[in-house]
Structure 1
Amino acid sequence: MCVWWGPVVRVLVLQAAWAVGGGQVRYSVPEEAKAGTVVGRLAQDLGLEAGEAEARRLRLVSQGRRASVEVSGASGALVVSSRLDREELCGKSAPCALRLEVLVERPLRVFRVELEVTDINDNAPLFPAARKNLSLSENIPPGSRFPLEGASDADIGANAQLSYAISPTEHFTLDVKSSDDNRKSLFLVLAKSLDRETLPVHRLVLTASDGGRPSLTGTMELVISVLDVNDNAPQFNQSVYKVQLPESAVERTLVVRLNATDPDEGLNKEFSYSIVSSVPAGNTDLFRIDPKTGEIRLTGALDFEDVRLHELQIEARDKGWAPLSGHCKVVVEVLDVNDNAPEVWVTSLSVPVPEDAAVGTVVALLSVSDRDSGANGRVRCAVWPAAPFGLVSTFAGSYSLVLREALDRERVSEYEVEVRAEDGGSPSLRARRGVRVPVSDVNDNAPAFAQAVYTVLARENNAAGAELARLLARDPDEADNGRVRYSVWEGGVGGVASAGGGWRPASSYVSVDAESGRLWALQPLDYEEVQVLQFEVRAVDAGEPPLCGNATVQLFVVDENDNAPALLPAGSGGPGPGASGDAASGPGSVSGALWAWAAWGAPAGQVVAKIRAVDADSGYNAWLRYELWEPRGKGPFRVGLYSGEVSTARALEEADGPRQRLVIVVRDHGEPARSATATLSVSLVEGAEAALAAAGSSSSKAGTGAEGGASAAGAAATTNVWLVVAICAVSSLFLLAVVLYGASRWAPRAGVLSGPGPATLVCASEVGSWSYSQRQSRSVCVADGAGKSDLMVFSPNFPPPPGPAAKEMQPEPPALLDTKSMREHYTVSSILNAFGESDVRAAVAESQVSTAAAEATGSCEWRKEKDGKSREMGEKNRSRQSEREEGLKPEE
């Protein structure tokens, strides 16, 4: 049942679609198309599916003439079956459209298909005869004209546009006249007198070329026979006939009746009249003459404004053996009627008009005329709208358009004025002319910047001449009044205090291009010298007097990793328990020498020294990490990745020797990373000697011997004291956790906010040394009580620190940012991605545990065996993660 309903539904849908669309398909095919050429996809255009054309017997219905197209049964396409000749099918008709009927059975449907056959240049011009014989008397004067029949072309359009040429000869020329209906009249003009005795027969070739591409030609041979003289020509009773006709004269009006006589007898006396030529040329079709009676009648419409005077050359030719002709002139004067509207011209226009032009200023000169004459040509004028312009008549046919009211370009920048003219005819005719009057500007607007404050980021150590930003000020005025030039305004508040204590103007750092507003750097910027440079840029127009506008530019210098870590000397808080020595303290130092003591049998995890370093850079470039470079492998010591603490990796044995030399590399996280190297010599001694050495080191830092003895006694305390310290430390940890939880819940959130997400502050006393410069960081208390600038700020609203992925996100050159944005922030996600989430969380946990222990005991010597093992495990994981990600080697 479903199989039977499917075709029925499709037929109903097809019938509905054709009922809506009109049921007619149109195709186009050029004539002379080869048999088999596909004209169109008839089956598809009729809405039939594949295979239905043959099944439903799609075919054309013959209508009596030979069909040149057929339907392909397999595909249902309409193809050319035989030669298509547009001229045979339609002749000169255009367009040539064949209406076909298409029949579809099962169910029966009839559709109409219209096939347009387009023309190609397949027909050459054709003359009525291949040869034309002319007989001319030898006494015909030069200048005589003889009409010739032109060629015809079966094509249409440009393919049927004909041009004519005649073979070169000194006796004849060809004159081609075009009529109003685009037909051409050919005349053979005698250029030189004939002489039958010299040349009795002239043979010329007349060639016609059509306008197709390529052009086709047709020829006709002209055989001109020279006859003997006929001594009497017809004579008119007047040489000039003058006639007056109104331009409204209707067709077939009698113009004049001519009269000519011939004194000859017989055939030489009989003659006929003809119009030879007209002035203006091409008006021969406007008049017609009776060849027997000589009556000239009007065959078209006259136009006084077009041609006021027509001159017709009339010829009377006899029928003698050597025909002679007489000529006269007919002058037809055309009289005017009111059939033309007035015309308005703008002879002079002084625009634009300045908006401060005085009342009475002449804006334009107008000329008004009417092609008619008399009262028909008298014109009255008015202007609309009446304000702010008016008309003043200067003399007949001339008016001045003057200003009646003051102008304001800011209110109206251009006026469309209409001048209206009316003649005095009956009925009167009217005309209108629009005049566009633009209003020019005066300098009454100052340049205005798009922003009052521009924020620009520039990288440190940028190249001199680098483009920092582009400022843009707009002036609504025109021409020079709106042409803006930029400069750094020295009169404004701009500059920065130099490192030497002096004041340097902003113009010594930056310059602005006067034409484009591009901000350039005159010298490399140093973040350690200047972080923020604020100055003003002035935009001045070129008007008279000039007007100006100002904008404030805040230039923030973004830090680059151009400073290597510097090792702190032992005096700045001490190197740690049991460590002493010297280290370079300048910012450019790259190495240092330290020494420390360790007791035989010291358990794993005991801190023997602490390496301290700072970096003059800020942010990510100042975040330091410590690596044990020598000895490699399973040595007795290890170093904290971010804390710099040197501790025992296992219990010390006598096989380790009396002294261990450790080479520790300190690296920052910049791109590329910079490093410094510290050499630590650890002497392995007995427990009492190690305590005395540590006490001596502590006393040297404190400056008194009594305090040094107390420290040595504390270092040599019994195991019971260590147990008490451990219990106190665990209790302190619990109390600290409770305090931190309460602070995080109830205390106001502190940090740097920028955007919707809160910032996170991390104290890096044990995690690492992310050290800002001393001028921009806060002093954070670490475990041993030493002050250190280790404030790490994480914000989820700023781009990640420099790296392979982050470089792609940073704009180059620096773009303009919001003034409220901070200069440097790094996201928590970036830190987690760079060093691993587990390592960072372990480092934070280690920092909290170490800080709590230091607050509880007052020193950094407390360690718990279980915590030491956990730290050792985390330290190894962080070292492996750091080696995988950084892949850096120390600079020797």
Structure 2
Amino acid sequence: MGGSCAQRRRAGPRQVLFPLLLPLFYPALCEPIRYSIPEELAKGSVVGNLAKDLGLSVLDVSARKLRVSAEKLHFSVDAESGDLLVKDRIDREQICKERRRCELQLEAVVENPLNIFHIIVVIEDINDHAPQFQKDEINLEISESVSPGMGTILESAEDPDISMNSLSKYQLSPNEYFSLVEKDNPDGGKYPELVLQKTLDRETQSAHHLVLTALDGGDPPRSGTAQIRILVIDANDNPPVFSQDVYRVSLREDVPPGTSILRVKATDQDEGINSEITYSFLGVADKAQHVFSLDYATGNILTQQPLDFEEVERYTMNIEAKDRGSLSTRCKVIIEVLDENDNSPEIIITSLPDQIMEDSPPGVVVALFKTRDRDSGENGEVRCSLSRGVPFKIHSSSNNYYKLVTDGALDREQTPEYNVTIAATDRGKPPLSSSKTITLHITDVNDNAPVFGQSAYLVHVPENNQPGASIAQVSASDPDFGPNGRVSYSLVASDLESRTLSSYVSVSAQNGVVFAQRAFDHEQLRAFELTLQACDQGSPALSANVSLRVLVGDRNDNAPRVLYPALGPDGSVVFDTVPRAAQPGYLVTKVVAVDADSGHNAWLSYHVVHASEPGLFSLGLRTGEVRMARALGDKDSVRQRLLVAVRDGGQPPLSATAMLHLVFADSLQEVLPDFSDRPTPSDSQAEMQFYLVVALALISVLFLLAVILAIALRLRQSFSPTAGGCFESVLCSKSGPVGPPSYSEGTLPYAYNFCVPGDQMNPEFNFVTSVDHCPATQDNFNKDSSSMLLASILTPSLEANKILKQVSI
């Protein structure tokens, strides 16, 4: 159907890449693609394979969104084959009016990359219109005195078709009086002239009826007819004559209605009524008759409506001058309309994407537009500009076609959309301008990681909290949009054991609330640190970490625990001996207690609840030291009991009590008779003691073997057995609390070790030495007041007790 630039240049064997590169450089390599089609093609008819002429494959048609655009779209592109199809009825006469060359200009737009191509479709005329006279009946009056050879100009027929299909010739129905002569107009057209062949005789025939036929040059030809009615009148042998055959005038398009632009004048040599001339339009289009008016008596031509150069550049009118004797002549009036800068430029957006990625580099095409100014010359030359402060600029791609491209970095978080105003100004005097604002939406890219509200979090949680309760909340913000700004939270690290972390705390992925999964115990866990992560849902995802330190606060949930004095496993009581001559201030003993709480909750105070002899002893409020308040009197009992309460500083305070048994004696022999008075145990108790003695003996043997082995390995120590009658290992005890080293404060400064002899009849105690520190093995043995336990186990009967006792001074 038509040629294209791609068809004019064939690629040689070494030009394989040319078709691939052709779409990128098409505007600079060749002229617009041209097609030629006849008018009135059926809808869906193929104009040409546009994809092939553009060097695109069938797959590229849909992938690159090939489409065409125009002010009035008569064509479309087949998305499957790439053919350019007729979309709407194409009437050359309606589209191009009187122009002899009829062309439709289109733009083909492709994307990825975005580009535009120019297409010109030439509309060829077909013989779809028959010649037509403006009037179906032509009335003429011819004087009988007219000599043969006199001609009368007839109305021309109009045929909107062009070239071969336009008006070709006239024919007159056969008769003996008249013939038809075709004459040429100065503009190339033809008009008929009726020529008298034979003198008329009104008395013989007063009227003549003829048929005038106009034929075009189509195949087959079309025709139109008009009836000619000739009334024969008396003589008028001189027709009017115009002063010139063609009148030309130039007129500015901004002249107001009612302006006189021209006066035609014809003269007639006849006299009287036959010289009176009237003027009228002859075969003038309706449009011209609406714009101009003709004074039938004077021949003055006036404007009736405003002129528009952009609509009609030139008017051609035939004016007939006729006398009263029906003789006529005509002239042609050509009015040239001069352009004025009365049209502002137009901005037409041909392609505008929905969204623009915010990471688009400079130079990316974001819109295509063109400008149009209906004025001509400098009045139609347009230059474009952009509003200030936007990261875009304009590139001119071809005549009146422009690209809007990025000219800087885009940041959706700062500016999610741009209202870009494009201004177009012509070069007229004064210049006219217009503007159009387009909105460019910036699409988010995940370029911002979440940011926590604090660099680190510190939270205090009291112990014994409710499991499942919220203990803290972290919050992170992400300025990105949609999934890129949607934040979720998780635990990624902790100083707790990873296997048990989930049993301590959990975090809500939606809102960052941290929940305690168990009740915390300040005495077991005083603080721990978590690493929380905030992660967005972008691709790839971005994240940020923050530390959360949890301090477990103490509550007064532990009562004080008395370490000394302590009861033996069998409930036996430890006695403290006091010299009879002890003076006021003498340190008798010390109550040792601990509290597992901390702070004020572990601040202990000691109080005397009950004393068998009030005022005899004093008790240190904070130290727990029991001292003599006065000397022992003669009336005072040598056995004293002191009930001591230990209170902590919590609210409410918790407390524990301890009973001190104090015996005033200068030697241990004075105390032993008191022990021999104890009741004899039952047979079952004796049997139990026997088994305990056997078990203890076995344990002692194993212990001795271990000690001997350790000594042999070290080779630096020698084994020396104890004095005859004593145990193989000296039973030793520290007179102080048995517990962690931090609770050692308050123990008495020294202790005595002593043995019970094997002779039951001789209950004499043999003191060995005083020690400040005991060996580790002895210390472990005596942690449960084992001295009292052994004293009760190793005696076969209560009558001959062999007592082992630790006396603290």
Q: With structure 2 as the length reference, what TM-score do the two structures score? A: 0.37
Q: With structure 1 as the length reference, what TM-score do the two structures score? A: 0.34
Compare CA radii of gyration and give the structure with the larger one.
2
